[in-house]
Structure 1
Amino acid sequence: MSTDTDRLVTLHGPTMGTRWTARLAQGRIPPGLGAALQDCVDAVDREMSTWRPDSTLMRLNAAAPGAWVRTGPDLIAVLQAAARITEASGGAFDIGVGEAVLAWGFGAAQGRTDAAAIRAALRQPLRAEVECCPARNRVRRLNARQLDLSGIAKGHAVDRMARLLRGRGIPDFTVGLDGEILAEGLRPDGRPWAIALESPDPDRRAAHGLIELSGRALATSGDYRHRVRLGLDWLSHTIDPRRGGPVRNRLASVTVLAADCAQADAWATGLMVLGEHAGPALARARGIEAIFLVRDADSLREVTTLQPGDLTA
């Protein structure tokens, strides 16, 4: 007996230390679609990875401040989007955190902390200064900040996959990479896509609730998956660029809904940095749809700027 679930086609593959996934609400896979989706995310990785010394981003980081580096329009678009969100968030989101990410043992440092580099990162705000020249496909850093696009690149990769599927005439799908998801159209049963929001538990994977999504993207930033231990403390991988160290507030996670996934990804990071009071206040002021999970002693408290009924427990 056929069910709606039987009509879903799932494609997936490795990228950026995790996996990308696409679910299509149709029974036939267009020829070469899986390979084309893999090419999408691989292209983003080649441009924006901090793990690959040959990526365009790492070539930009290696160039002297003021030196132009040739790049493509995608990286320029992401750098420009990041700059807009940096300004709108008051510096809570900033791509100039590369030195601090490595100093605190995250990313390519793989848990190895560097005390001297930590002290250097803590001395000043990590504000990136980048100039883009789209007409000539080139970019330059205007200061010595090392750039890290971890807070926006995965969302951009999801947007690229969605763009490819739309271009192939596929109307109903979800695409995801880690905690970043974009949903288009409807499921086979005619309803919006049901997306599980993860509970912020470092020891197991469980759903906090469900949200129905169509024509929008969703991204989550949290303190419970990517972290390192320093002494008796667990430190979140999210760096506060205003102080050069991991965030220290009571937020367990922030989930943001937006028109595109790059924007959701960056805002989830920025609101996580702002914390349990300033984060919701800015989200309301800017009309950002977000779900904040706040740690209160041994329980979680939910603060949301979503419309009533969007989230199902």
Structure 2
Amino acid sequence: MIDAVADQTSGDEPFVRCAHQAMACEWAALIPHADRTYAQQAARAAFAEVDRLERELSRFIGDSDISRINAAAPGTAVRVSADTIGVLLLAHQLQSAFDGAIDVTIGLRVPRPGVGAPAAPPASGPGVAIHAAERSVTRLRADASLDLGAIGKGFALDAAVAVLREWGIERALLHSGTSSVYALGAGCPGAPTGSQPAAADLKCAPGWQLRLRDPADPQRCVGDVWLRDAALSGSAVTLKAGHIIDPRSGEPAGGHLAAWAIAPTAAVSDGVSTALMVVKTDEAVDCLRREASNAILAGVKAFVIAPEAPGVVRALTTTADFRSASGGAE
């Protein structure tokens, strides 16, 4: 759903590319740096952090924090890492911001479409209690099962970017699959003429150019985004068919055909793009307008393809760093 424009580096600056398998997808780091060996070492350190978080947060790893919480009897407090507390608190904030349209506690309780019994509406009440001070989590219902698919990769992406910063990397593009990307620093100098918008057109600082693909036709570009020190995530029916459930009804999500979100962090952009697949356009706009009262939505920008207008990207927020495929700034 998201591609980096291929040529964003000058001829005199090496562009180091590193890849890594984690969280069931290929991660990639693109780092413009004069010292190739140093850049590769920084990328390996960032990927090691992703691996560490996968061991803590994956429900598919038996001794992870998430698996231990899911296996514990309701009412039993489970000691977990600070990272697990952090990602669960973020998920709770996003759940509140979107009126329950994202809920990481539904886990395996809601059957995937086409598999097993028909979906049933989830039980009322919270699924887990988070005790931040004690660094523990208590499962409150027997049917509560944690699954961080809506936010976990984004959370790990933020941690990987933090490692790159610790290594002194000032510019990089870091992907977790093709669904989330973080653009660190300005776009590379020497990019092809016209690849970045003129200030008079879009009034934005130069950034990394990212191309949004139509999930129904991946060869078709539906728009370009210029990103700097921010994250972009995308969700779509064809990419996650059956994997996005409306927690409020237990039914498959029916909000949009595709959704993209820009945010200061990848955890937030990941969660917001998922929530936008659940809520209808009017509800999405209403939720995003609450930015003043929901700090988690500060700086969030969103674009969607609605069922009534396939292939057409609509901006749900005021933004100056998106240009549709037709050439107009939104």
TM-score per shorter chain, which class?
A: 0.7 to 0.9
* Structure 1 position 13 matched with structure 2 position 20: yes
Contact 2:223–2:322 (CA under 8 A) maintained in structure 1: no
Task: Please report the TM-score for the alignment, with normalisation by the length of structure 1.
Answer: 0.85
Shift of 1:128: 4.0
Match of 1:281 in 2: 286
Contact 1:48–1:153 (CA under 8 A) maintained in structure 2: yes
* Percent of paired sites with the same residue: 29
Q: Classify 1:293/1:270 alpha carbon distance in 2 versus 1 (closer, same or farther; 3 Å).
A: same
Match of 2:132 in 1: 134
Shift of 1:24: 0.9
Match of 1:167 in 2: 166
Q: Classify 1:126/1:224 alpha carbon distance in 2 versus 1 (closer, same or farther; 3 Å).
A: farther
* Structure 1 position 54 matched with structure 2 position 63: yes
Task: Please report the TM-score for the alignment, with normalisation by the length of structure 2.
Answer: 0.81
What secondary structure does 1:239 align onto?
coil
CA displacement, residues 24-43 of structure 1 (integer Å, 9 cap, x when unaligned): 12132316323312211111
Name structure 2 gaps, 5 residues minimum.
Answer: 1-8, 191-205, 292-297, 326-330
Contact 1:9–1:28 (CA under 8 A) maintained in structure 2: no
Contact 1:126–1:241 (CA under 8 A) maintained in structure 2: no
* CA RMSD between the two structures: 2.2
Contact 1:280–1:292 (CA under 8 A) maintained in structure 2: no
Counterpart residue identity of residue 25, structure 1: P
- State the structure with bigger RCO (CA 8 A, min sep 6), 1 or 2: 2
Decide which structure has greater strand share: 1
CA distance in 2, matches of 1:59, 1:220: 30
Q: Classify 1:185/1:48 alpha carbon distance in 2 versus 1 (closer, same or farther; 3 Å).
A: same
Contact 1:162–1:182 (CA under 8 A) maintained in structure 2: yes
* Structure 1 position 226 matched with structure 2 position 225: no
Name structure 1 gaps, 5 residues minimum.
Answer: 106-111, 228-235
Match of 1:104 in 2: 112
Match of 1:113 in 2: 115
CA distance in 2, matches of 1:256, 1:297: 19
Match of 1:195 in 2: 210
Match of 1:230 in 2: none
Shift of 1:100: 4.3
CA distance in 2, matches of 1:301, 1:70: 44
Match of 1:65 in 2: 74
Counterpart residue identity of residue 186, structure 2: L
Match of 2:198 in 1: none
CA distance in 1, matches of 2:320, 2:43: 37
Q: Classify 1:299/1:150 alpha carbon distance in 2 versus 1 (closer, same or farther; 3 Å).
A: closer
CA distance in 2, matches of 1:291, 1:127: 31
CA distance in 2, matches of 1:86, 1:63: 23
Counterpart residue identity of residue 175, structure 1: L
CA displacement, residues 115-140 of structure 1 (integer Å, 9 cap, x when unaligned): 1xx34xx1434754322333433222
CA displacement, residues 85-129 of structure 1 (integer Å, 9 cap, x when unaligned): 11121111111221245x216xxxxxx7111xx34xx14347543
What secondary structure does 1:219 align onto?
strand
Q: Classify 1:294/1:7 alpha carbon distance in 2 versus 1 (closer, same or farther; 3 Å).
A: same
User: Which residue of 224, 243, 253 maps to 1:247?
Assistant: 253
